[in-house]
A = this chain, B = another copy of it.
Amino acid sequence: MSGERLIYLPLGGAGEIGMNAYVYGYGRPGKERLLLVDLGVAFPDMDSSPGVDLIVPDIAWLEANVDRLDGIVITHAHEDHIGALAHLWPQLKKPVYARKFTAALARLKMEEAGLPQDAVHTVGARPETVTVGPFTLGFMPVSHSIPESAMIVIDTPAGRIIHTADFKRDPTPVVGEGWDEAAMQALAAEKPVKAVMCDSTNVFSPHEGRSEATLADPIAELIRSQPGMVVATTFASNVARLRTLAEAGVAAERSVCLLGRAMKRMVGVAQETGVLTGFPRTITPEEAVELPRRNLMLIVTGSQGERRAASAALSRGKYLGIEMREGDMFLFSSKTIPGNERGVLRVVNAFSAMGVDVVDDAGGRYHVSGHANRPDLEHVHRLFLPDMVIPMHGEHRHLREHARLAHEAGLAAAIAVNGTMLDITGEVPVVAEYIEAGRVYLDGTALIGAMDGVVRDRIRLALNGLAMVTVILDEKDQLLGEAWVELMGLPETGLGGRALAETMEAELTEFLEKAGGKLLSDDDKLDEAMKRIVRQVAMEEIGKKPEVRVVISRLAAE
């Protein structure tokens, strides 16, 4: 044994879908030179992270070892792979490597955050390589639901790693490079593969994935059949789908209008970087309102029912002068991500109430996934026949099922969730260490730890409401005036229509007038006693214990 080892450490994306961040290291234990692959975000929800803007991986470990980090690779420009770059780069300040389209979007993010764009380096597809510390990296094009996704071929002194990133086996992806089976076989034949770190998203989908190209005809047919305006939504970054939709619109003699900032930006960058050519001419919303509805097609943001996106805006009424009407059609050329159902159904029902026909992916007729299904994953296992498969990009259930698949194929596999450092130097993965990993919330401009209690307090306020109590005591611990209670998120009246705040104030004042000097002079005991009284009154009056905050002001003698 040389004393050097090869390690793999997911800091995000393993045990969840979102905020991907995977560390590789090579060197003597504790001295490995490090490489970070992807730096993405996850999205907050009201249940667990109300008010939060974005969720980023906790990279405290990486920051503590930042002198060992040689670079950051971004596999593709989806937010769950690139979204945290501009937020966390200042803590890392290392060169960023990506393919052209991805790099252009990375530079936009850096620019908007006032960070140096020249930290982002464009790397061409294989055979071009870039050396980052002990790692030589090649970007192998794969098909996905955004242009230029890349499988990273990582050559290390301990062997070759294939980091699949997000991919599907699609030879005809409409925009960008397809899955090139011959090239993949050549890659597999080049040298043995130690480990495949592999996308697990669709491991539960039993059928082979379908090509993006299969959508063109059904979508075109659907649009041709519509007498009114057609509005379609998909992910803004799914440039191939945007093209399929737009071309179907044009074929049906419709002018195409893109709505939503993210969508226009994606199409713009895709065109500027040469990834997208021949996209139909689009018109502005101002031009759109002048056209007969049967000659109009909108392609809009908001496939997940996001409140601020164009689809939700249209579901609420007029948006940029455009209004949906009876006889129009709205097409979800997308899948609802688990957790977003309520938002999507809100939009669907609002359209229904307007008389708009809503069409969803219809079991795959109008949407295909960008991830490899189970048979495709099995194909990749067989293709590379690595020493080991390490499932990534999935919730625990996905990782577990994917590891099971690998075992069935006779390959070693390990379930390594965020924070699990694997030593993959040998023929089987071995857990080397557990690192503190987790989530950090971007909240406004502040980064707050998921465990700091800030969000827990918000959830408590939302569940329980708040009673704020203020009392003023003089230098002799005598009550000045009366106790004052303000309520937020609580009903104003309790039993028999009594004002709840007043009932609390009366009880508090009575208590304070009777309380002895010893209690009145002790802030902690006073606080505790008053909280108890407020909660008790609340239980009696409204059957619920609110959060209580007590502010005791003590006026000094002048």
Judged by a CB distance under 8 angstroms, whether A457 is at the interface is: yes
In the complex with contacts A51-B462, A397-B349, A444-B542 CB distance below 8 A = yes
Determine if B461 and A489 form an interchain contact, defined as CB atoms under 8 angstroms apart: yes
The reply to whether A489 and B457 form a contact with Cβ atoms under 8 Å apart is yes
In chain A, positions 354-383 with a C-beta closer than 8 Å to chain B are 355, 358
Q: Decide if A472 touches B551 in the complex (CB within 8 Å).
A: no
Does A30 belong to the interface (CB within 8 Å)?
no
Interface string of A453-465 (1 = CB under 8 A from B): 0110111011111
Beyond contacts A470-B551, A481-B556: 12 other A-B pairs, Cβ-Cβ < 8 A, are A45-B342, A46-B50, A338-B341, A345-B397, A349-B397, A352-B395, A353-B396, A445-B544, A446-B491, A454-B490, A454-B491, A468-B551
Given contacts A341-B338, A555-B481, contact A464 B51 (CB under 8 A): yes
Q: How far is the CA of A399 from the CA of B513 in the complex (A)?
A: 61
Considering the complex, give the chain B residue whose CB is closest to the CB of A490: B454
CB distance from A30 to the nearest CB of B (A): 28
Report the 10 A-B pairs with minimum CB-CB distance, sorted nearest first. A444-B544, A445-B543, A444-B543, A462-B462, A458-B489, A50-B462, A461-B461, A51-B463, A338-B341, A352-B397
Chain B residues positioned under 8 Å from A490 (CB to CB): 454
Q: Which residues of chain A from 48 to 92 have any CB-CB distance to chain B below 8 Å in the complex?
A: 50-51
A408 at the interface (CB under 8 A from B): no
Q: Is the CB of B352 within 8 A of A51?
A: no
Shortest C-beta distance, A330 to chain B (Å), equals 11
Interface string of A224-245 (1 = CB under 8 A from B): 0000000000000000000000
A-B CB contact pairs (8 Å), 24 listed: A15-B349, A47-B47, A50-B462, A51-B464, A338-B345, A348-B397, A352-B395, A352-B399, A443-B542, A444-B538, A452-B491, A454-B465, A454-B489, A454-B490, A454-B491, A458-B463, A458-B488, A461-B461, A472-B553, A472-B555, A480-B555, A481-B555, A553-B553, A555-B555
Nearest-CB residue, chain B, relative to A401: B352
Residues of A within 8 A of B (CB): 15, 45-47, 50-51, 338-339, 341-342, 345, 348-350, 352-353, 355, 358, 395-397, 399-400, 417, 443-446, 448, 452, 454-455, 457-459, 461-466, 468, 470, 472, 480-481, 484, 486, 488-491, 493-494, 538-539, 542-544, 547, 549, 551, 553, 555-556
A191 to B539, CA, bound (A): 55
A395, A452, A462, A494 pick with most chain B CB within 10 angstroms: A462
The distance from the CB of A496 to the nearest CB of chain B, in whole angstroms, is 12
CA distance A457 to B538 in the complex (A): 18
Q: A463-B51, A484-B551 are in contact. Are A342 and B345 (CB under 8 A)?
A: no
**What's the least CB distance linking A361 to chain B, in Å?**
13
How many copies of the shown chain assemble into the complex? 2
Q: Which B residues are in CB contact (< 8 Å) with A339?
A: 341-342, 345
With contacts A349-B395, A397-B352, A489-B51 known, is A484 near B443, CB below 8 A? no
Nearest B residue (CB) for A455: B489
Q: Is there contact, CB below 8 Å, between B553 and A51? A: no
Q: Across the interface, which residues of B come within 8 angstroms of A547, CB to CB?
A: 488
